[in-house]
Amino acid sequence: MGAMLQQDRCTQNDYVRLFADSAEPLRWLCYTLTGNEELSEKVLRAAFEQSLKGADCVFRDWMASWARRLIIQACIALMRPTGCGPEECACLHSREDGSGISDRLELALSQSPDALQQRLLHLDPLPRFAFVLRALEGYSRRETALLLEIGDRACESIFTRALEAVQPRLYVFSSAAMGAELVAI
């Protein structure tokens, strides 16, 4: 039984392959969280080194999620996204009851990765991290709040505002007195 469990554990070679095969998605995650190429590379190197050190402590099935978690934790430690003041974290009055969130999330995630990344990079670090953890990495509100060291309600409010901010804008062609123009709706 012990030998069977040992076979299911990762090796350093497994992590070398993972980081080579998944270089672009991991780099995308790092850059989206940090917003800086140099910091992204620093985080990737640190996560890779940490993965190699603890390779035999992780099962192969968990290897990719473990590497992504190491990257997220390194980005949080490096960026230190801070909580907001009470006035900034007040719950939204519109649609925070959850209605429409799945539709808005689906619409936000339907954008190309580059378009979504550009919208995310315009956010402050805390809403960016909240969105990435919840929407892209699948963390629960509670897990996200714990990682970011904020309250659950603040986490939900920040996530909801980030979700609104990354929505693709729809435009209509309007012919006004001043000429034709595209108007965001």
Ordered by start, the domain boundaries in the chain are 2-79, 84-185
Sign of CA dihedral 9, 11, 14, 15: positive
Which residues in the chain land under pLDDT 50? Answer: 1-2, 4, 86-96, 184-185
The answer to whether 75 touches 40, Cβ cutoff 8 Å, is no
The model's pTM is 0.81
| Closest by CA position to 53, among listed 40, 34, 66, 42 | 66
- How many other C-beta atoms can be found within 10 angstroms of the C-beta atom of residue 22? 15
- How many other C-beta atoms can be found within 10 angstroms of the C-beta atom of residue 128? 25
> Is domain 2-79 given the CATH code 3.90.25 in the classification?
no
What pLDDT was estimated at residue 1?
46
Question: Considering just the CA atoms, what is the radius of gyration of the chain in Å?
Answer: 20
- How many other C-beta atoms can be found within 10 angstroms of the C-beta atom of residue 53? 11
What pLDDT was estimated at residue 12?
94
What pLDDT was estimated at residue 169?
80
* Rounded Cα distance, 185 and 178, in Å: 19
